[in-house]
Amino acid sequence: MLPSPFKHNIAREDIEHAVRQAVVTEELDDDLRLYFGPSRRGTLLEVITVLGEQQESESVIHAMGMDA
């Protein structure tokens, strides 16, 4: 995972949980994908990923709590 998702002090495990348990997933421009999902404690997170060249993998580039 890139360093940028940790800017808002969200733990890796919470980011991964939010993506796996996302209640909303949206395809954005430029191979970006937006997830809204809960952390392990249930707080809602916004996570943005960028798709890899083959669109088989994703890298998280942003994560923050929805209360921030």
pLDDT (tens digit per residue) in 2-28 = 777 788 899 999 999 999 999 999 999
Please state whether beta strands 58-65 and 44-51 pair in parallel, antiparallel, or not at all (unpaired): antiparallel
Q: For the chain, what is the domain count?
A: 1
User: SS3 helix, strand, coil % of the chain, rounded to 5?
Assistant: 20, 40, 40
> What size, in residues, is the chain?
68
pLDDT at 55: 65
pTM of the predicted model as reported, rounded to 2 decimal places: 0.86
**What is the three-class DSSP state of 49?**
strand
In this prediction, residue 67 carries a pLDDT of 80
- Would you state the pLDDT for residue 1? 67
Can you give the residue range of the structural domain that contains 24?
4-65
Q: Per-residue pLDDT tens for 46-58?
A: 999 998 876 678 9
Q: Could you tell me where the DSSP H helices lie in 1-68?
A: 12-20
